[in-house]
Amino acid sequence: MSGRYRSFDGVAKDYDKTRVIPDSQLRSIAKICASTAKVEKSGLFLDAGVGTGRFAVPLSKIAPGRTIGVDISLEMMGMIAPKDPEGRLALLSGDLRSLPLRDGSIRGALAVHILHIIEDWKAVLDELSRVIEPGGVLILGTELGGRSVLTDFYFERARARRVLVENIGATGSSPALNYLRQKSPKGRSAASIELLLTPSLTWKRLMPVAETLSVLERATFTQMWDIPPDHHKEIFQETRDYADRMFPSTKHDEALNAQFVMHAVRWPQNR
């Protein structure tokens, strides 16, 4: 398999702390996915890049035994068991560029924040197109906002020093959506794309400044992994000093606004 592919093995234990979506919103996302793909009573649903099961676990409660999660990181999937004690979710270890699934075997699939860490991201979309049955749906999800000003400050300083490595894959949803609007491989026609209107999927959360600083110090975001340790140490200290100027104390909570946006991708039923 060609191209780089980042694994979250090293940050599995921190992942859920840094990518927080409230449980009520996760349940809403699961219901929308199930309804859009019509898998409440039959059909298989795939969470491509299942990670720690944020989306797949609530989905598996709607479609028990028919929800599948695939990920290349065993460490990330190892975090799922406590969330799914009944074993409703089926897990497969695999590369999203070569899914261990038959053609047309999946009615619906979800992909969230995975294409930016895979250099050959188009191969992932091709594979999802292959395994989704005629008339099925791929849902691309994107979380917008919800990032601390301290995180933005850290990235700005790293960019100024020219040590910030840009994403190796597709940044944002636009490149993927544009690709899917074109004629797909395997003889499939161009996809139709619908923005799922989900005004309820907005939320505000309070993030303690101390927690944000801890997350940054441990370099849990993918773009931080290649920053040389000496640069990271200096940039983090600058960020810590900035926090001291911005907030009364590290016990202060920062209010963050976030939104989850979903696009439904469908192909004509002819192959």
Q: Please, what is the angle between helix 121-131 and helix 174-181, to 10°?
A: 50
pLDDT of res. 133: 93
pLDDT digits 0-9 by tens, 116-152: 889 999 999 999 999 999 889 999 999 888 889 999 9
Distance CA 247, CA 153 (A): 14
List domains and CATH numbers for the chain: 9-146+168-204+257-266 (3.40.50.150)
pLDDT number for residue 100: 94
Low-confidence residues of the chain, pLDDT below 50?
A: 271
Determine the pLDDT at residue 270: 52
Q: What is the rounded (10 degree) CA torsion for 179, 185, 187, 189? A: 0
Asked if residue 259 lies in contact with residue 145, where contact means CB atoms within 8 angstroms, the answer is yes
pLDDT confidence of residue 242: 97
Q: What pLDDT shows up at residue 264?
A: 96
Q: Is the pTM value of this prediction over 0.85?
A: yes
Q: Check residue 184 and give its pLDDT.
A: 60
CA atoms in the 13 A half-sphere facing the CB of 165: 17
- pLDDT the model gives residue 267: 80
Q: Which residues of 107-145 are buried (b: 16+ CB within 10 A; e: fewer)?
A: bbbbbbbbbbbbbbbbbbbbbbbbbbbeebbbbbbbbee
pLDDT of 4 reads 78
